Amino acid sequence: MSLVSVHNEWDPLEEVIVGTTVGARVPLGDRSMMSIEFPDVDSPDDIPSGPYDPRAVEEAQVELDALAESLQALGIVVRRPQPRDHSVVGSSPHWSTDSFPDVCPRDGFLTVGDTVIETPMSLRSRFFEYLAYKDLFIEYLRSGSRWISAPKPRLADDLFDPAAPVGRRVRDDEPTFDAANVLRIGTDLLYLVSDSGSELGLRWLQSTLGSQYTVHPVRDVYASTHIDTTFVPLRPGLVLLNSTRVTEVNLPKVFRGWDLIWAEEPVDTHPPDRRPNGSVWVGMNLLSISPDLVVADERQTSLVKQLEAHGIDVLPARLTHSRTFGGGFHCVTLDVRRRGTLETYTCAT
């Protein structure tokens, strides 16, 4: 039986990959880093490349290990990336760089049904990230799962324009997208068109999934990176929304008729002596364990109360350096198997 089986964001979780900060470093500066991770710098030389502060790495790893232990205590199978040396420089005909940390498995791999899809991420430093998961994916393949990879992008200099407005910094010259640009809602998937998700990436994903699925573009809502600090489907008919980005006007059609939770601005738990990577809205980045249980930061008391008012319990946890490493609970995990079947939850077209 396939070890991979995921149809939505909320079915009961049975197996998950949790990321790691071991060996974490800021990759070498280049046009891809300037366009996606450091839009506020004027030159690649201004990017603070090299190992992260050891204290931050250790503290973050302790919290990731605690998350893994909490999930295991619920009977969930937890897997981890293989250790690798992030200082090793890899090359293509167009560029050379070292590696992004393996803290966010959500970004590079999309599980849909019984299939693992390696996505064509636009950061050069994530080109070889699959190596940390290859033995796992071979195990999944042996179990009967499908394993495919999107076309590998060139990521040449002319793909990137760091000086362009947000949402236009990665040109639509080839399919590029992060898996974290996608939300699964049964036969419907949302795809955020943004700096981390091109129109050609959307077209490739739709053509690959075929007529059984409909990939809905989300435009003019949030143009930076990733969708999971904007929309969080909690169960059929209930969705958590970023109240500063989403309105009744730009709400995706798949959520029409659903109950809406308008998340209040999260508390900023980021250590003041660290450069933040991402906004405070990582505080609404949740991992659903089941339709009535999620993992959330215990310090987000307002959000916890909003969830509990809708019958959703919270497994309390902490990711103190979520903005340091650019990932909340959804980001630092990849759901591999959820107990459920493929259904259609909306009649939207």
Report whether 80 contacts 156 (CB < 8 A). Answer: no
Distance, in Å, from the CA atom of 333 to the CA atom of 326, rounded to the nearest integer, reads 13
Active-site residue, selected from the candidate residues 102, 178, 195, 335? 178
Active-site residue, selected from the candidate residues 104, 188, 321, 331? 331
Token code pair at residue 314: 């919270």
Distance, in Å, from the CA atom of 266 to the CA atom of 155, rounded to the nearest integer, reads 35
Distance, in Å, from the CA atom of 316 to the CA atom of 307, rounded to the nearest integer, reads 12
Distance, in Å, from the CA atom of 304 to the CA atom of 284, rounded to the nearest integer, reads 10
DSSP 264: P
Active-site residue, selected from the candidate residues 7, 226, 321, 330? 226
Closest residue by Cα to residue 306 from 245, 232, 255: 232
The yes-or-no answer on residue 226 being catalytic is yes
Distance, in Å, from the CA atom of 241 to the CA atom of 249, rounded to the nearest integer, reads 13
Token code pair at residue 177: 């997208």
The yes-or-no answer on residue 216 being catalytic is no
In the numeric block, the tokens 């955020």 are attached to 192
Please count the other Cβ atoms lying within 10 Å of the Cβ belonging to residue 344.
12
The yes-or-no answer on residue 331 being catalytic is yes
300-330: string of b/e by CB count within 10 Å (b at 16+)?
beebbebbeeeebebbebbbbbbbbbbbbbb
Helix (H, G, I), strand (E, B) or coil at 56: helix
User: Distances in Å between the alpha carbon of 1 and those of 142, 144, 145, 149, 241?
Assistant: 9, 6, 8, 21, 36
Residues with a catalytic annotation lie at 178, 226, 331
